[in-house]
């Protein structure tokens, strides 16, 4: 076990990196797309709708093989890690966008009307009135998206990124100790998802406003 | 959608309309530029040549892809038929009063919700053959999907049962029905109806997970797309076509979920948390599975 533990931990590190990069990227892209979807500009709305419609319905593995094995055909070559991270970001951004959008919709209509009544425009009312309130409702669903991203990173193993799942598979082939390799990997995944769940739970309690 | 997003801005005045017009033009120009760049990238590398797309018009190749789609649908349906009843059973066990029933169910659900399907598939692919167990490809794909899918479904059913008025089950008990009778005769039929839209969107997740057939070499759509792409040297085209088919199939399913949600909604009782989107993301206790 001591022989391959460092290797497995290296895989764990890649999984963590991919999860964090993918989730952070998805937060940024997803929020931007959500703003597109509620903006007054028709083509921006259409782009937002198409973005979500495509990325929420395409399986992540299809996106991964398309980017990893397809893009070199059109002369685009990037490092494997960043290609995988981009796919995760794109895929999760659709879920973040829908979370943000339904968060925006839970803020009562009166708030938006009040914001407009005191003369705030589209951007200002989103920035100062709607989004701060919407964010509180979004914390738990975003936690679910984060856990989804963590589990989603396992698929990069299928396109050859040396993440936790990929390392587990190759170390099992090499050392033939399935109980410890798979057991450890399972424990790591449970730990990450539990940790993530706890973190978002704490965050939600901190941000909750008693009414 | 409960509310139009238009509440975020007033009816536009002359200046606002002009700004919107300018923004529209800019967005369209940017989109056109991006599209042009993408097409040029394809053209420069010869990927727009007729020969590269020709295969996708020939009947035998289309039939091959259709067979793949058939495999995808078959694996999805079988997974759903196994995972949903199993999930309902797990949910009821987890809600049961006796601890020896509750704890194993809870442990199973929490464990398999935290494990990626691919890891389970590798267990079936690598570990079981060493123990002398040889399963057909189909089951090597479907059993891991069912293992994690039933855990997700259990949480859906549990949230559904908990969201049903307590009066319903109390009425059952006061009639002298046991826990299992109450669940079977009173609670589940109502919960099932309310959960229909969520279960349909759960089908999308299962369908996405069948793409892992790519790993176990089960002939589903992605695997057949890969075989085809490598054989005719049209990888990117094959994957684009496969992606398109998946998007259309899943968009159809989610449209179905929205439709059912709307029909149930007009009958008075709302499905739990259905005020949000029909995708079930906002429902309590639900987890979005992205690992497919």
Q: What is the pLDDT of residues A16-39, one digit of tens each?
A: 999 999 999 999 999 999 989 988
Nearest CB neighbour to B290, from listed A60, A168, A185: A60
Say if the Cβ atoms of A165 and B130 lie within 8 Å.
no
Q: Residue A34 sits in which domain range?
A: 5-207
What is the interface pTM, i.e. ipTM, of the complex? 0.89
Task: Give contacts of B 212-241 with A, CB under 8 A.
Answer: 212, 214-215, 222, 226, 235-236, 239-240
Instruction: Say how many residues make up chain B.
Output: 292
Evaluate whether A60 touches A22 at the Cβ level (below 8 Å). no
CA distance A169 to chain B (A): 7
Closest CA to B224 of B73, B93, B116, B121: B73
Residue A145, exposed/middle/buried by CB under 10 A (0-12, 13-18, 19+)?
A: buried
Q: Is A156 on the interface with B (CB under 8 A)?
A: no
Name the residue in chain B with its Cα closest to that of A149: B290
**CA atoms B267, B268, B272, B277: torsion sign:** positive
Question: Binning pLDDT at 50, 70 and 90, where does residue A120 land?
Answer: confident
Both tokens assigned to B3: 């509310």
Residues B68-122 pLDDT 10s? 999 999 999 999 999 999 999 999 999 988 889 899 999 999 999 999 999 999 9
**CA atoms A129, A130, A133, A135: torsion sign:** negative
Distance CA A23, CA A142 (A): 9
What pLDDT score was predicted for residue A208? 78
Distance CA B134, CA B128 (A): 7
DSSP one-letter string for B225-280: HHHHHHHHT-HHHHHHHHHHHHHHHHHHHHHHHHHHHHHHHHTSPPPTTTTS-TTS
**CA atoms B271, B277, B280, B283: torsion sign:** negative
Q: Name the CATH superfamily housing domain B49-266.
A: MetI-like (1.10.3720.10)
The whole-model pTM stands at 0.87
Nearest CB neighbour to A154, from listed B116, B123, B249: B116
Taking chain A, what is the end-to-end CA distance rounded to the nearest angstrom?
A: 53
Q: Is A38 on the interface with B (CB under 8 A)?
A: yes
DSSP letter for A1, please.
-
Evaluate whether B285 touches B159 at the Cβ level (below 8 Å). yes
Distance CA A40, CA A18 (A): 34
Say if the Cβ atoms of B12 and A99 lie within 8 Å.
no
What pLDDT score was predicted for residue A73? 86
Picking from B122, B221, B257, B277 by the largest number of A CB atoms within 10 A of its own CB, the best residue to mutate is: B122
CATH number at residue A40: 1.10.3720.10
Picking from B290, B291, B292 by the largest number of A CB atoms within 10 A of its own CB, the best residue to mutate is: B290
**Ramachandran bin of B167, using left for φ above 0, alpha for ψ from -120 to 50, beta for the remaining angles:** alpha
> Per the structure, how many domains does chain A have?
1
Top pLDDT among B130 and A90 is at A90
Say if the Cβ atoms of B214 and A145 lie within 8 Å.
no
Q: Is B147 on the interface with A (CB under 8 A)?
A: no
User: B28: number of CA atoms within 13 Å, CB side?
Assistant: 9
Evaluate whether A146 touches A200 at the Cβ level (below 8 Å). yes
Task: Give contacts of B 263-282 with A, CB under 8 A.
Answer: 276-277, 279, 281-282
Residues A100-116 pLDDT 10s? 988 888 888 888 888 88
Closest CA to B101 of B110, B109, B92: B92
Residue B176, exposed/middle/buried by CB under 10 A (0-12, 13-18, 19+)?
A: exposed
Q: What is the pLDDT along chain B (292 residues), one digit of tens a residue?
A: 334 445 666 677 788 888 889 999 999 999 999 999 999 988 888 888 888 888 888 899 999 999 999 999 999 999 999 999 999 999 999 998 888 989 999 999 999 999 999 999 999 998 888 888 888 999 999 999 999 999 999 999 999 999 888 888 899 999 999 888 998 899 988 998 889 889 998 999 999 999 999 999 999 999 999 999 998 888 899 999 999 999 999 999 998 988 888 887 755 444 444 443 333 334 443 445 665 5
Q: Is A9 on the interface with B (CB under 8 A)?
A: no
Q: Is A18 on the interface with B (CB under 8 A)?
A: no
Q: Is A184 on the interface with B (CB under 8 A)?
A: no
Task: Give contacts of A 70-129 with B, CB under 8 A.
Answer: 70-71, 73-76, 91-92, 95, 98-99, 101-102, 104-106, 109, 112-113, 116, 121-122, 125-126
């Amino acid at each position: 076990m001591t022989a391959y533990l460092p290797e497995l931990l290296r895989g764990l590190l890649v999984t963590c990196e991919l999860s964090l990069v993918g989730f952070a990227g998805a937060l940024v892209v997803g929020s931007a797309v959500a703003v597109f979807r509620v903006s007054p500009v028709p083509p921006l709305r259409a782009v937002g709708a198409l973005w979500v419609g495509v990325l929420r319905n395409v399986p992540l593995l299809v996106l991964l093989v398309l980017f990893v094995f397809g893009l070199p055909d059109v002369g685009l070559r990037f490092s494997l890690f960043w290609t995988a991270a981009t796919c995760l970001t794109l895929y999760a951004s659709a879920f973040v966008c829908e979370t943000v959008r339904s968060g925006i919709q839970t803020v009562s209509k009166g708030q938006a009307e009040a914001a407009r009544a005191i003369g705030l425009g589209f951007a200002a009312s989103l920035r100062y009135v709607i989004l701060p309130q919407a964010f509180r409702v979004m914390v738990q669903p975003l936690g679910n998206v984060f856990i989804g991203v963590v589990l989603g990173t396992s698929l990069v193993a299928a396109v050859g990124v040396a993440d936790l799942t990929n390392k587990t598979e190759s170390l099992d082939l090499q050392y033939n100790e399935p109980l410890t390799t798979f057991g450890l990997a399972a424990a790591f995944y449970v730990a990450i998802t539990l940790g993530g769940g706890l973190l978002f739970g704490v965050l939600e309690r901190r941000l909750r406003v008693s009414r | 959608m409960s509310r139009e997003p238009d509440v975020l801005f007033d009816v536009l005045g002359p200046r606002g309309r002009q700004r919107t017009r300018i923004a529209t033009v800019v967005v369209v120009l940017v989109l056109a530029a991006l599209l042009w760049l993408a097409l040029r990238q394809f053209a420069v590398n010869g990927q727009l040549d007729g020969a590269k797309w020709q295969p996708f018009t020939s009947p035998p190749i289309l039939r091959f892809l259709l067979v793949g789609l058939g495999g995808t649908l078959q694996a999805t349906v079988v997974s759903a038929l196994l995972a949903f009843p199993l999930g309902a059973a797990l949910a009821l066990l987890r809600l049961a009063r006796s601890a020896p029933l509750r704890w194993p169910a809870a442990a199973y659900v929490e464990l398999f919700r935290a494990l990626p399907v691919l890891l389970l598939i590798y267990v079936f692919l690598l570990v079981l053959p060493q123990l002398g167990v040889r399963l057909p490809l189909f089951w090597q794909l479907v059993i891991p999907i069912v293992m994690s899918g039933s855990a997700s479904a259990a949480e859906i059913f549990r949230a559904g049962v908990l969201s049903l008025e307590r009066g319903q089950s109390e009425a059952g008990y006061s009639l002298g029905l046991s826990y299992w009778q109450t669940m079977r005769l009173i609670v589940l039929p109502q919960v099932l109806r309310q959960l229909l839209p969520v279960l349909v969107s759960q089908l999308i997740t299962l369908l996405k997970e069948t793409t892992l057939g790519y790993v176990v070499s089960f002939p589903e759509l992605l695997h057949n797309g890969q075989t085809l792409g490598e054989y005719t040297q049209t990888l990117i085209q094959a994957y684009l076509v496969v992606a398109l088919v998946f998007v259309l199939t899943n968009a159809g399913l989610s449209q179905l979920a929205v439709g059912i949600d709307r029909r149930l909604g007009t009958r008075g009782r709302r499905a739990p948390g259905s005020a949000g989107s029909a995708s079930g993301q906002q429902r309590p206790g639900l987890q979005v599975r992205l690992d497919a």
